[in-house]
Structure 1
Amino acid sequence: MSKIPRMLRLSPADNVLVAIDVVDKGATAPEQVVALDKIMKGHKMASGPIAKDEPIRKFGQIIGFAKKDIARGEWVHEHNTGMHDFARDYAFSKDAKQEIILPPEERATFEGYRRANGKVGTRNYIGIMTSVNCSATVAGFIAKELNDSGVLKDYPNIDGVVALKLDNGCVIDYRGVIFDILKRTSWGYATNPNMGGVLMVGLGCEGFQIPRFKEAYHVTENDTFRSMTIQETGGTRKTVAAGVQAVIDMLPHANNVKRETCLASDLVVALQCGGSDGYSGITANPSLGAAVDILVQHGGTAILSETPEIYGAEHLLTRRAATQEVGEKLVDIIKWWEDYTKRNLMEMNNNPSPGNKLGGLTTILEKSLGAAAKGGTTTLTNVYRYAEPVTGKGFVFMDTPGYDPVSATGQVAGGANLLCFTTGRGSAYGNKPVPSIKLATNSDIYHRMIDDMDINCGDVLDGVPITEKGKEIFAKMLNVASGERSKSEILGYGDNEFVPWHVGAMM
């Protein structure tokens, strides 16, 4: 007898099934549905007839509308699924609840670096920051010379020197939005608790002036912050030499830290997903959400972002908003994005990507419903602008693009000291100064990219409970925060992932 291929019905309200195994044409699937097409893993099959213009439902939510009549057993994807506007009930704060936070003596702990301002780092890097692309090469030369010299072996508490290279910084309105974002992002990185020291290098004549930056944030030169420009220092070679010496002088001060026992409430975890597939919203994202619920219970903070990738699921978040004001902040951001894409001759459904679609995702609504699951189930306590300092506790949202490096840059600038990244297609990503934990949505990609993946969430499809996988992820968070290196750190990722968001005109 042929084995019945495994498929999932995610909600009683759904009219599609999701394939766990490949379903051959003519095969009898669960619920005695005969497949009229070959259904690949992660893709959808109609569990009953769907009339033209009728909603297509997955997760119990609308993910699109039938572009034509769809027969029972037919493959459901972009060839027969479209989008059009429909009303959403924001129901502000309807599902908000008073979270039960464990007292300090019952909270989980990790070994971190407690900074003078009370924040806690999970790593200790020296950052060579730039004020303009014109100084990016020099910053790279400084970092390379220091990392290659062997001098860091005498400073065991320092994880490395990283050059954070801007690709802008000039030909911008210094009173405009690009300047404001660059300023916030640069300051956020300079003060991230995973940064033990900073050298800022400029050219000298750029729009993003270092003196103006220092004045805006009341920064003065000290043992762990220095700045210089190529023009004032005397050119490339002299600036590299001066920069290397400045960092060497900084090393003893930056090294003068020791890991100590800290509470899980000191963790600020950035949530990311990239290279998503049809399993993302079924395995890795809800598992990460379960870990977020544990983190919030222990007093910590989790940052959900990627605004275009919660589009169509924002009504699930507004229901969890602590107040109507918090919910309305999120809706205002969604409206801004609708206008932003329209002005740039795009549309919100330009996302998902071709790779997402190959993995089974059909519309942005479907992708967003799965992506939002990373945020767990607790109350949404606040909404932040891109790279704005995250000062609140619990589950929060930050407005960022969906492009992972740009989004994560905003979260790190906001103060994240740890990052969890789910992927189904196999994203290659890491971050400095913040360690990135990679969660595979399926066992195939976990084993194929074993050198990149930290945790396999594909076993959820084999019966591992979401709650147990959430506990595994939370334990990994604590271990990596305590110094255990993630796979992306072992591979050396993180030197090219500083990508601030560009919004506005480049002159």
Structure 2
Amino acid sequence: MRRERLSYLQIHPKDNVLVALRDLPQGFVVEFEGKQFALRDAVAAKHKFTIWPLEKDADILMYGVLVGRMNDAVAEGVLITTENLRHASDDFKLGNRKLDWVKPDVFAFVGRTFNGFHRSNGTVGTANHWLVIPLVFCENRNVLTLKSALEEKLGYQVESKDYSDEVDVLIAKYQDGASIDELMGVDLSSAKANKQQKRLFPNVDGVKFLNHDMGCGGTRMDSDALCGLLAGYIAHPNVAGATVLSLGCQHAQASILRNEIAKRDPNFDKPLYIFEQQFEGTEQELMQKAIKATFAGLTQANALTRQPATLDKLCIGLECGGSDGFSGISANPALGYLSDMLVTLGGSVILAEFPELCGVEQKLSDRCIDEATAEKFMHLMKTYNAKAEADGSGFYMNPSPGNIRDGLITDAIKSAGAAKKGGTSPVAAVIDYPELANGPGLNLLCTPGNDVESTTAEVAAGANIVLFTTGLGTPTGNPVTPVIKLSTNTKTFEKMPDIIDINCGTIIDGEETIEEAAHRILEYVIQVASGEIVPKSVRLGQDDFIPWRRGVSL
């Protein structure tokens, strides 16, 4: 049922700014708490304006927390900008446990199942992939050679157009003597679509060929972390097995990889083939062995079929990228409600992006189940920020130009909205990168705010679905875990329908509540987890994979 669309919103009763929900002209009359005032500036949708006069250095509160301080004294009805507001956030310390929370009504989902791939260790995959990965960047070319040999023949080329037909049209026009203006005006809409070859192994969702620039030449900490990350992917419930290419002399040794796999799955029994080029000798010998092993592994993976699994087998990664001023009041709180629903059902969720938790550390640490967990979270936050500041780029420099343009003026504003994805349940565990984080309940995982690095880490930590909110439009995906995109506003959803799956702008438009949106999203998740719906990022072959070097990345 459609509700009246508001023009502006106070997010939390303590807030001393309002958020414009549509473009408001200069002179627009605001009615708030029994008083009226006219806007002194035009305020674009997603941006904020003052409710009453504020002195220089006055605190600005949003989401009930400190998000900045005024650089100048301002009147009421003034647009908040980077010129008149600077970043500020409250300090944090070990506090009392605040573990009381109101569990959402999950009656509609009790007893529900999804059809997934059951692994021997009790986890359940929402997909069934085979991995081909290099232990060191020296093997990237060989991985790409395997991709060239296998992908199309097995029917795993990307279903979307590769635009080579459009190039053929332009080549023909050029050869016919077309001018530059004529080339620019060519209609390419008639270029034929690519054909998808039928898959040889119908129960295998994909053969995924990963590349990276690590494994040697950096610190041992980086190479060890890489082995942990790759182990997380190999042991992942969405992965049936892997072919690993190693040079042989690099820091990231196969023995380290095997040890990291054992940490995550002591009884690991998936097919795993590791080949070292320096041992095998010629490239031909290496490639022929890798092709035979991969093909044999795919025949084993294809023997698996989807079977019913309860929703507590879901581990959902929560991510945001290309955020805007609506992120914290539409898509992110909808994911927060869904997060609480899944925790109530016995499932697990992962909230990452530690630079985007700046300003809400106290609330999150107070929600940790015990003091040791809270202290671990605070230590990771302080250490990370100190490293960033030592390199001349603290958390306060996190917002991108796009974030700022669309209303996220300070890092604390961005963070307070981003943290809404984590709902209200207690924090069950705090996990450092690249460890496993799929225990039941809400897990905090230390990662950068960088979309791809964070998504890459969440999947290594066990996420078998990733929910990714975006206000500006971000095409991020993952090689093995379905990434579902949710727009924070209807305009972006309608403008970029090829990369976004779900519109949460309906909340802003007054078409549904946060709770209703969360129910709709969870229904979609169940269909994706069952293989009934293929998200846009998967259709586009958006297989983004970037390991995190434990340096500064915001």
Please give the TM-score of this superposition, normalised by the length of structure 1.
Answer: 0.93
What is the alpha-carbon distance in structure 1 between the residues aligned to residue 325 and residue 268 of structure 2? 51
Gaps of 5+ in 2: 157-198
Give the C-alpha shift of residue 100 in structure 1.
9.2
1:207 match:
251
What is the alpha-carbon distance in structure 1 between the residues aligned to residue 256 and residue 450 of structure 2? 30
Give the C-alpha shift of residue 156 in structure 1.
0.5
Give the C-alpha shift of residue 17 in structure 1.
1.1
Gaps of 5+ in 1: none
Report matched runs for 1:36-55 at 5 Å.
36-55=40-59
SS of the residue corresponding to residue 425 of structure 1 reads coil
Give the C-alpha shift of residue 11 in structure 1.
2.3
Would the alpha carbon gap of residues 55 and 194 (structure 1) be closer, same or farther in structure 2, given more than 3 Å must change?
A: same
What is the alpha-carbon distance in structure 2 between the residues aligned to residue 237 and residue 426 of structure 1? 43
1:163 aligned to which of 209, 213, 220: 209
Assess if the C-alpha contact under 8 Å between 1:285 and 1:422 holds in 2.
yes
2:240 match:
196
Would the alpha carbon gap of residues 396 and 222 (structure 1) be closer, same or farther in structure 2, given more than 3 Å must change?
A: closer
Would the alpha carbon gap of residues 466 and 90 (structure 1) be closer, same or farther in structure 2, given more than 3 Å must change?
A: farther
1:366 match:
413
Report matched runs for 1:92-491 at 5 Å.
92-96=96-100, 106-150=110-154, 153-174=199-220, 177-214=221-258, 217=261, 224-463=271-510, 464-483=512-531, 484-491=533-540
Give the C-alpha shift of residue 102 in structure 1.
8.1
Q: Which structure has the larger Rg over C-alpha atoms?
A: 2
What is the alpha-carbon distance in structure 2 between the residues aligned to residue 149 and residue 239 of structure 1? 20
What is the alpha-carbon distance in structure 1 between the residues aligned to residue 259 and residue 458 of structure 2? 24
SS of the residue corresponding to residue 508 of structure 2 reads helix
What is the alpha-carbon distance in structure 1 between the residues aligned to residue 152 and residue 76 of structure 2? 62
Number of equivalenced pairs: 498
What is the alpha-carbon distance in structure 2 between the residues aligned to residue 335 and residue 404 of structure 1? 21
1:493 match:
542
1:9 match:
10
Give the C-alpha shift of residue 426 in structure 1.
0.5
Instruction: Indicate the larger mover: 386-395 or 64-73.
Output: 386-395
Would the alpha carbon gap of residues 493 and 87 (structure 1) be closer, same or farther in structure 2, given more than 3 Å must change?
A: closer
What is the alpha-carbon distance in structure 1 between the residues aligned to residue 6 and residue 122 of structure 2? 54
What amino acid does structure 2 have at the position aligned with 1:40? Answer: A
Give % identity.
Answer: 34
What is the alpha-carbon distance in structure 2 between the residues aligned to residue 390 and residue 237 of structure 1? 40
Residue deviations 1:269-291 (CA, integer Å, cap 9, x gap): 11000000000000000001111
What amino acid does structure 2 have at the position aligned with 1:210? Answer: A
Assess if the C-alpha contact under 8 Å between 1:312 and 1:365 holds in 2.
yes
Assess if the C-alpha contact under 8 Å between 1:223 and 1:253 holds in 2.
no
Residue deviations 1:238-261 (CA, integer Å, cap 9, x gap): 433332221111111111111111
What is the alpha-carbon distance in structure 1 between the residues aligned to residue 433 and residue 96 of structure 2? 23
What is the alpha-carbon distance in structure 1 between the residues aligned to residue 379 and residue 7 of structure 2? 41
Assess if the C-alpha contact under 8 Å between 2:342 and 2:348 holds in 1.
yes
What is the alpha-carbon distance in structure 2 between the residues aligned to residue 100 and residue 442 of structure 1? 25
Report matched runs for 1:23-42 at 5 Å.
23-31=24-32, 32-42=36-46
What is the alpha-carbon distance in structure 1 between the residues aligned to residue 472 and residue 155 of structure 2? 39
What is the alpha-carbon distance in structure 2 between the residues aligned to residue 16 and residue 378 of structure 1? 27
Would the alpha carbon gap of residues 102 and 38 (structure 1) be closer, same or farther in structure 2, given more than 3 Å must change?
A: closer
What is the alpha-carbon distance in structure 2 between the residues aligned to residue 17 and residue 85 of structure 1? 19
What amino acid does structure 2 have at the position aligned with 1:249? Answer: A
What amino acid does structure 1 have at the position aligned with 2:42? Answer: K
Please give the TM-score of this superposition, normalised by the length of structure 2.
Answer: 0.85
Would the alpha carbon gap of residues 257 and 300 (structure 1) be closer, same or farther in structure 2, given more than 3 Å must change?
A: same
Give the C-alpha shift of residue 63 in structure 1.
1.0
Give the C-alpha shift of residue 57 in structure 1.
1.4
